[in-house]
Amino acid sequence: MTRRQQRMVAVGALVIGLGLAAALGFTAMRKNMMYFYTPSDVAAEPPSADALIRLGGLVVAGSVERGEGLKVRFTLADCESELPVRYEGILPDLFREGQGIVATGRVGSDGVFTAQEVLAKHDEQYMPPELAEKLTDDSGKHSCAEFKPVYGAKQTS
């Protein structure tokens, strides 16, 4: 093989190696992606049963039921839809009815969201932008009367 052919083989091997590394990297990232959903999004188009998602909404007043041990059931809503949630573990100190939360988990075939982790918002000003858009009216206040008002949430356009 001439010197020029050796260089071409080396460049070709380098391009193939970089392409393979990029393909493997993108595949790994795609498998580990978590999308944010609201109860309305889940009702409109449920994610696949094996998809790990983040579900955000407000805990419906009167829906929290404590079971045996650390088992808890509650309903999460976004003013348009509600979704039952099942969780086993220690809830954050800020968790309460009417509170905004984000839960990580999977939607089961029975339509119940099984949470692996529950996070409560830290102060009255925080809310995921997608959820704030669904919950606020033109004045910037919470549009659902059954939940406490969320001030400072801005509607994105």
35 is in an annotated binding site: no
Inter-residue contact 90 to 145 (CB < 8 Å): no
User: What is the rounded distance in angstroms from the CA atom of residue 12 to the CA atom of residue 112?
Assistant: 51
Distance of alpha carbon 102 from alpha carbon 32, whole angstroms: 18
59 phi/psi in degrees, rounded to 5 = -75, 125
Helices and strands, counts by H and E, the chain: 3, 7
151 alpha carbon, distance to own chain's centre: 22
Q: Find out whether 105 and 84 touch, Cβ atoms under 8 Å.
A: no
| Closest listed residue to residue 75, CA positions, set 49, 111, 109 | 111
Nearest-angstrom CA–CA distance, 120 and 87: 14
126 known member of a binding site: yes
Annotated binding-site residue numbers for heme: 122, 126
Binding site members: 122, 126
